[in-house]
Amino acid sequence: MTGHLLGQLATWILHVIGTLGYGGVLLLMAMESACIPLPSEVILPFAGYLTWTGRFNLLAVALVGALGCNLGSAVAYEVGARGGRGWLERYGRWLLLRPEDLDQVDRWFASYGEATVFFCRLLPVFRTFIALPAGVARMRPVRFHLYTFLGSLPWCWALAYVGLRLGRNWPQIEGIFRRFDLAIVVVIATVVVWFAWHHWPKRANAGPRLSSPKEKAFGNEK
């Protein structure tokens, strides 16, 4: 069931890009950076494959993808800025954000300042939600978008390049994934059960946290 849903999601992503062209890449990457769980690991390699066919240009794909990251991150930034740290701690579990993740980003902000946004855009998982704590910290928008773009550009280029290198082998990828549908289901089920067992009960039992000195690195709550 889960493998089938993942296959449908991948098919929809390919349809959007095939229909809208660069606009599809822009839209999908914006959705991913707005914390909607769309895998850039599918979006960009397929765009790279279309580069191999001659429909797209590799640099244009990277630039459009990075611009989409900026657009989606602007939405997440505003959510963080308006909701504050308390909102993230209360509702972050629905985005699979643990308090430990927020504390980790908090420490990075304290150690590396605004450059944290640049480095996190190069990291899986963290790249998707880094705009939320940046918004909480009320990072200067111009620098936020600059670091977001510069960090997203190499990520987008690298994944698109993978699709370009796959070339004519790309159509075989779907068949390979289908062979591992059961494995995908087992892995996802295991991760969900592990996450729920180790983290969600703690959140349910934990009341609202008091403000602490750590939150100063994030910025003041509203």
For the chain, the structural domain boundaries read 2-218
How far apart, in whole angstroms, are the C-alpha atoms of residue 71 and residue 128? 13
- In whole angstroms, what separates CA 211 from the centre of its chain? 28
pLDDT of residue 169: 77
- In whole angstroms, what separates CA 52 from the centre of its chain? 25
Alpha helix locations (H) across the chain?
2-20, 22-33, 40-53, 58-91, 99-112, 115-120, 126-129, 131-136, 141-166, 171-179, 181-198, 200-205, 215-218
Q: Are 192 and 73 in contact (CB under 8 A)?
A: no
Q: Give backbone dihedrals phi and psi of 59, rounded to 5 degrees, phi first.
A: -65, -40
How far apart, in whole angstroms, are the C-alpha atoms of residue 33 and residue 88? 16
**End-to-end CA gap in the chain:** 42
Of 48, 71, 52, nearest to 61 by C-alpha is 48
Q: Are 62 and 156 in contact (CB under 8 A)?
A: yes
Of 22, 133, 175, 118, nearest to 30 by C-alpha is 22
Q: Give backbone dihedrals phi and psi of 57, rounded to 5 degrees, phi first.
A: -115, 135
Per-residue pLDDT tens digits for 114-156: 888 898 888 887 788 888 888 888 889 999 999 999 999 999 9
- In whole angstroms, what separates CA 209 from the centre of its chain? 27
pLDDT of residue 197: 54
Please report, as a single letter, which amino acid is at residue 47. A
Residue 92 binned pLDDT confidence (cut-offs 50, 70, 90) = low
Q: Which residue has the tokens 């657009």?
A: 71
Which of the two residues, 89 and 52, has the higher pLDDT score?
52
Per-residue pLDDT tens digits for 171-207: 665 555 444 444 444 444 444 444 445 544 444 444 4
pLDDT of residue 84: 72
- Whether residue 214 has pLDDT greater than 70: no
How far apart, in whole angstroms, are the C-alpha atoms of residue 34 and residue 73? 5
pLDDT of residue 97: 65
